[in-house]
């Protein structure tokens, strides 16, 4: 944002064409808008798994282990801060170099640049994967393996249009549907069964 503001100031000072200064101000405003980091009230209790991102749900399915897999597409106008779905410990973190296919392309999950973390709570875990898109070519993660994280806590961001995949326990009860627009930290993706939460606390 700062470079655009400097250019705008220079353009007005040196009396460059008015449109140059206005364009720089517009770009600075968009960058500030894109990197906004709004406060979110975290709903529910520890059994509720919250959305890790703002965006639109473009896939709901099951993997080979019958765990839930949810994919969220983030367009360039969404908040791009990423949050932890549940409280726990980051037990695994894997960065993979890859392509930069459009984030809404189903192949993006397996072929694009991505960073996956596993948040463990006893014997249970949630995998969250940040996936770069056609425009977003920079994944940022502020956490490291072994860190303790809270439910709804901010842990990173993906610049510009991107995608997030969330892998949840198969016995979780989903609270979302295909095509639904969700907000990170504010919307509940799924709810864990009561016995599962008790087991996690006892572990």
Q: Could you give the residue numbers annotated as active site? A: 162
Q: Tell me the angle at which helices 2-13 and 18-34 cross, rounded to the nearest 10 degrees.
A: 160
Q: What are the residues facing 74 on neighbouring strands?
A: 162
In the chain, what is the greatest distance between 2 CA atoms, to the nearest angstrom?
A: 69
Torsion of CA 81, 86, 92, 97, to 10 degrees: -30
How far apart, in whole angstroms, are the C-alpha atoms of residue 135 and residue 112? 12
Closest C-alpha among 167, 163, 179 to residue 63: 167
With beta carbons less than 8 A apart as the criterion, state whether 133 and 107 touch. Answer: no
């Amino acid at each position: 944002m700062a470079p655009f503001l400097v250019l705008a100031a220079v353009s007005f000072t040196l009396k460059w064409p008015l449109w140059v200064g206005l364009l720089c101000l517009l770009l600075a405003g968009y960058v500030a808008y894109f990197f906004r980091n709004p406060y979110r009230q975290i709903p529910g209790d520890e059994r509720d798994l919250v959305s890790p991102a703002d965006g639109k749900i473009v896939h709901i399915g099951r993997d080979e282990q019958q765990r839930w897999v949810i994919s969220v597409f983030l367009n360039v106008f969404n908040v791009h801060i990423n949050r932890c779905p549940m409280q726990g410990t980051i037990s695994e973190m894997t960065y993979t170099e890859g392509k930069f296919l459009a984030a809404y392309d189903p192949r993006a999950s397996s072929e694009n640049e991505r960073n996956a973390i596993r948040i463990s709570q006893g014997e249970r875990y949630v995998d969250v994967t940040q996936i770069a898109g056609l425009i977003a070519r920079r994944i940022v993660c502020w956490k490291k393996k072994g860190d303790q994280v809270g439910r709804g806590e901010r842990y990173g961001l993906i610049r510009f249009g991107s995608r997030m995949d969330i892998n949840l326990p198969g016995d979780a009860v989903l609270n979302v549907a295909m095509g639904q627009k969700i907000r990170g930290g504010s919307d509940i993706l799924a709810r864990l069964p009561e016995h599962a939460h008790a087991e996690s606390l006892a572990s």
